[in-house]
Amino acid sequence: MMYVPAFGAFVRALLPIRLVEGHTLTYGVWLGVDPRRLQSIIDVWWAPEYRDLRLRGRLANAIRPWGLLGTSVDTVVRDPDETPYCSHSDDRDLDRVLRSEWPHDVLPDI
């Protein structure tokens, strides 16, 4: 988590991309969140309440090959020992990325 003056508040999240044959590529992304919520997020991050944490924010990273910078996304905590996962988006393109299965060759060389 971080606050950057003149830019905003950011929290780490995981963005899973389902690939064919049961594989997954998971991007670590920054999620721009309402700065007024940052302290409450920090307060529960290491507490038992973390498992119920739900965040809504905007992707602060572009995800190749789709772009998606600035798109709205919701996160959930799947496992209290892991970073929250991007789970749903009101943005049609990001929601399609999250819900579809992709061939390996759609991904850039990383």
pLDDT of residue 93: 95
Residue 99 contacts residue 106 (beta carbons within 8 Å): no
Among 110, 108, 101, CA closest to 20: 101
* Helix, strand, coil distribution of the chain in percent, nearest 5: 25, 40, 35
Which residues span the domain enclosing 95? 2-106
Query: How many domains in the chain?
Result: 1
| pLDDT value for 107 | 73
Section 1-18 average pLDDT: 95
Residue appearing with tokens 């971080």 = 2
Locus of tokens 């944490």: 53
Model confidence over 15-53: pLDDT tens digits? 999 999 999 999 999 999 999 999 999 999 999 999 999
What CA–CA distances, in Å, run from 39 to 2, 20, 45?
Answer: 10, 39, 10
Q: What's the DSSP call for residue 83?
A: P
Contact 46, 53 (CB under 8 A): no
CA-wise closest residue to 35 among 69, 64, 2: 2
The string of pLDDT tens digits covering residues 56-89 is 999 999 998 999 999 999 999 999 999 999 999 9
Predicted TM-score (pTM) of this structure: 0.90
pLDDT at 84: 98
